[in-house]
Structure 1
């Protein structure tokens, strides 16, 4: 075992470090003049000493300023950013207003034709389009430009979704559909699109509030992300938002929220208000939220604890997969390659990539497709291909040479939906099964939302699934404006206390540590000697968070442990230890770190410089070659920040700083489903 990696061990003895007695520090805060007074009179002197008129005025002004600052902190503007795979939506509201006064940003600054609830989340860089005078974003990106879209799916490349991803997704990375400039990362492209979003929402707020009022107002930015996003993906999303300017002022902050949770908050709140007394949502039942987005599908189940006040909690571990509206686009490209071969494959990215006239025309056909009678229709898409074989009857049946149009039959159009329909059914079935196994109340409602949730074809398919697979009485509902449900719900969830009281941990999260060696339990190869605790067994897992564990907003778990820092007899600039962080997605987490189901996701960097130097000073001229420190490792996951936070504490003090460095590309491949499925 390396001297500075996975150093934590189970604490077997009493505390080695005794806390510093801080009582002596308190008295230094009192003035010398105060100390000269007898203790019996000290309190009276401190309380009743008269103030001059000038002092009274200064005190009054300070009191007033403090009250104003407290009021300013309480009044926040909540700004939600739903940065989807294909479209970006934003909304905002005030903590002084009701939920139904939430406003959606609809003017994207590109002319009267672009007044929409969302804008395309894409960017065309000037360096890839020599004819441009600057980078272009959202509606400024025109057909024919080389652009980047679907970047969000690349923010979490290590995420394993247990067979729920679109199988064509991996083939699309680096192709015309998922283009990234050669000298950039996905996070940098995502950041650049978010910069435009920040500018847009700031302009919208400034137009409504005025520049001076906005400068004094605290802003909370709520960034949405898929429920199945990994710890690394969450950190990457948050960092990209910060790099784009969000939360850059001292009074502003950034929080994260799962897209399904935001959608559920909006759906339940809006539907209850629209039909008071007659609602598909009832207390002591469960509702499944199915968020069909551009690049992901999220399905989460919520138990409705009460209606008034509204209280929700995750009933079981939610799931998601990288299969959404873009799955249909990828299927179209595969169909075109099968039909037309090299004639299609050699076309420039500007002709067939995201934002091209070909894909824009298909987008309209895709949204309007209903199935039923549409299966007998023929759909035409503009695309000029010059290398086609006019004498091939199969090509002639699929291409109009007169008008340069691709022809799709209604049956072919329906076949493009197969993957997203299959993955949606798979996720719904698993969620219902998990809800029942966890002995929750019955599922009575399915909520459909998201951009693809607006599709009449998907609505009919989900209804068919409910009719065929779920019990009688389960209702399918779709809130008004399902396309903007997520950004609206993200604002609603932070206008006051969130209606979601508990969430569920997606994975087991833990550390590898060493414990007292037991020959009946441990392998001989794991034996090693600790200078402070004797014979130990390494490679043992300690899980601090359990998969499926209920987590409140203030949730935290603590591991009592100790760490040995070696080389403390040598003067160094810093004394740093490293501890790996592991996760497991199985139902039952293994005991050993070398189990195939355990994967390393991050490294905790624990800076012990301060406490080591303090101990070196106490030891004098000959400090020991190694030092042992008892500490508690505390993990927080249920808070609004939406990311894992880890701190190390002593009995009365904090042990340095812990930073998490996430793995770039962990080698890991799971089975198609977790054990409980």
Structure 2
């Protein structure tokens, strides 16, 4: 995206932050690249009286297929929440394209691929919140929501710039995804966006950008460009300083650490350590609350609560809890009590049900919050340790995202004494909730401000190699029919190792060779595998190693005269050596096919 973002013409850039709980969008154009000229959408269908930076990511389906979304959903109406997280669940396979019938894996055509274990639905009982009467797939659901969001964004652009101009002008869409997103989830996100029409007009383009990178670009740019007097403040970041960015959202919490490479003439950052994160956003406080309610009132009444009035009672309760959750902080004194609507249930003081309301004490809220706080602090600690291991102590922790505006989270992090660094100053920038979408626009306008990134996992391929009894297991041994040598299958050759420096100008190469018969259209594939371990294992049988995607190299358009003639067992055949090049961008991997120094385009990718 670095080279592609150097815009040769006047273009509009739209930042799109599709979140687990709320979604937002901002836009700017290449004629005015300053922060002040980046505008966020603040008027949403169904929300007429109050401006908001974001709109709920909920969608509500009727039996006839018609759906409402965002603020248009009636209070208490059954809905599908947290749909974004479904894109990264291993139990959804119906959207994955089947491998081609003539699939031949170059590494090991006889290896068996273990079937992934199904994942259990964490909240099958909360039907009112996970209402999917049409049994739509995650990609279908997200595409439906993004279609509605796309229409609103385009309507806003036409209103502010004029329909004729919008119809003529190209738009770059920069869509953000969690840094912890799997490659499959990245691909599914892009597929859903494309189905919604995003980036599909002539000359329009669609890019993916990691959420913490977008937030970091905004946070630092905002810090320096809103008030130039801050540049001489000794407490401000200087070239060579490091900082940690924590993007706490509804579903995920992403962390990334940067070193400031330059401040003038433009911002330049480089990743200091491998980023980290987890699914521990604010929705998991909601889940803890549901567990608390179920524990307090018992299984039978909880099941009734989930079903009562088609989930309306539960949804009203969760809606009210959202306000309690946002306001929870130091101002809430021990002993304070909040009351949430729970209509239709008899009084039960032991269960906390009083006059159609459910009591939530200060200690109850701490029970919902603290496990998530501990997890987030642990993630921040891990990033700080990684930075300190490079010989630098982070100067700040920037806390952004919707959940990042929580006073309780802010105070817990600010009061914590981190190992190796002690207490670190926490900065919660202005407009922290919209930092991701604004940063995505800046990224699209100015090009990549991150000069290098750290690879988050190991990538490689299965290979057969000469057997070594000190390394290999006998069960992997076989004898080559060509050479008679003892070989070992189910081994891995790592192309990129975790922590390696990557940027969009660096290419990592997977070299492949094959033979084929004359008259055969050359299509060959390789399975890319991955491991998250800090030190990559040699064996494909290691539990950390998993199949990531199947790469199909199609050289069928190359004339036979370009290939080398070989003789195999007395039969005239052809041979080819080609290369699949990997380029790492902020939130996706690009694969290109090369044969004899000629590029034959993108490699078809099928994720497992």
TM over 0.5: yes
TM-score (norm 2): 0.86
Tell me how far 1:136 sits from its aligned partner: 0.8
Tell me how far 1:284 sits from its aligned partner: 1.1
Give the whole-Å Cα distance in 2 for the aligned partners of 1:635 and 1:354: 51
1:289 pairs with 2:241: no
Give the whole-Å Cα distance in 2 for the aligned partners of 1:253 and 1:500: 21
SS in 1 for 2:333: helix
- Aligned CA distance change for structure 1 residues 535 and 496 (closer, same or farther; 3 Å): same
Give the whole-Å Cα distance in 2 for the aligned partners of 1:173 and 1:82: 27
Give the whole-Å Cα distance in 1 for the aligned partners of 2:16 and 2:540: 38
- Aligned CA distance change for structure 1 residues 643 and 528 (closer, same or farther; 3 Å): farther
| Corresponding residue for residue 646 of structure 1 | 591
Kindly provide the CA deviation profile for residues 645-669 of structure 1, in whole angstroms up to 9, marking residues without a partner as x: 2233222334686311111xxxxxx
1:448 pairs with 2:402: no
| Corresponding residue for residue 347 of structure 1 | 305
Structure 1 range deviating more: 106-115 or 653-662? 653-662
Q: Within 5 Å, which residues of 2 pair with 1:236-635?
A: 236-275=188-227, 276-277=230-231, 278=233, 280-308=236-264, 309-341=266-298, 342-348=300-306, 356-371=315-330, 373-386=332-345, 388=346, 390=347, 393-395=349-351, 398-401=352-355, 404-437=356-389, 439-465=390-416, 467=417, 469=419, 471=421, 474-515=424-465, 525-529=476-480, 537-565=488-516, 568-569=517-518, 574-611=521-558, 613=560, 624=571, 626-635=573-582
1:659 pairs with 2:594: no
Give the whole-Å Cα distance in 1 for the aligned partners of 2:6 and 2:327: 49
SS in 1 for 2:305: coil
Q: Within 5 Å, which residues of 2 pair with 1:21-32?
A: none
Structure (1 or 2) with the greater helix fraction = 1
Kindly provide the CA deviation profile for residues 598-619 of structure 1, in whole angstroms up to 9, marking residues without a partner as x: 1112111222433475569999
Kindly provide the CA deviation profile for residues 26-46 of structure 1, in whole angstroms up to 9, marking residues without a partner as x: xxxxxxxxxxxxxxxxxxxxx
Structure 1 range deviating more: 554-563 or 478-487? 554-563
**Which residue, 85, 89, 99 being the options, matches 2:35?**
99
Give the whole-Å Cα distance in 2 for the aligned partners of 1:145 and 1:661: 37
- Aligned CA distance change for structure 1 residues 591 and 242 (closer, same or farther; 3 Å): same
Structure 1 range deviating more: 250-259 or 574-583? 574-583
Give the whole-Å Cα distance in 2 for the aligned partners of 1:533 and 1:231: 39
Give the whole-Å Cα distance in 2 for the aligned partners of 1:354 and 1:242: 36
- Aligned CA distance change for structure 1 residues 331 and 562 (closer, same or farther; 3 Å): same
SS in 1 for 2:363: helix
| Corresponding residue for residue 53 of structure 2 | 117
SS in 2 for 1:74: coil
| Corresponding residue for residue 62 of structure 1 | none
Give the whole-Å Cα distance in 1 for the aligned partners of 2:293 and 2:366: 15
**Which residue, 82, 93, 101 being the options, matches 1:150?**
82
Give the whole-Å Cα distance in 2 for the aligned partners of 1:120 and 1:91: 16
Give the whole-Å Cα distance in 2 for the aligned partners of 1:616 and 1:499: 42
- Aligned CA distance change for structure 1 residues 354 and 150 (closer, same or farther; 3 Å): farther
Q: Is the Cα contact below 8 Å between 1:352 and 1:359 reproduced in 2?
A: no
Name the larger-Rg structure. 1
- Aligned CA distance change for structure 1 residues 625 and 661 (closer, same or farther; 3 Å): farther
SS in 1 for 2:49: helix
- Aligned CA distance change for structure 1 residues 158 and 137 (closer, same or farther; 3 Å): same
Give the whole-Å Cα distance in 2 for the aligned partners of 1:197 and 1:533: 62
Paired positions, count: 566
Give the whole-Å Cα distance in 2 for the aligned partners of 1:399 and 1:518: 68
- Aligned CA distance change for structure 1 residues 491 and 239 (closer, same or farther; 3 Å): same
- Aligned CA distance change for structure 1 residues 333 and 169 (closer, same or farther; 3 Å): farther
| Corresponding residue for residue 671 of structure 1 | none
Kindly provide the CA deviation profile for residues 160-198 of structure 1, in whole angstroms up to 9, marking residues without a partner as x: xxxxxxxx9952267434443452111110111111111
Q: CA RMSD in A?
A: 3.0
Kindly provide the CA deviation profile for residues 204-230 of structure 1, in whole angstroms up to 9, marking residues without a partner as x: 110111111111111111111111111
SS in 2 for 1:81: strand
Give the whole-Å Cα distance in 2 for the aligned partners of 1:576 and 1:529: 24
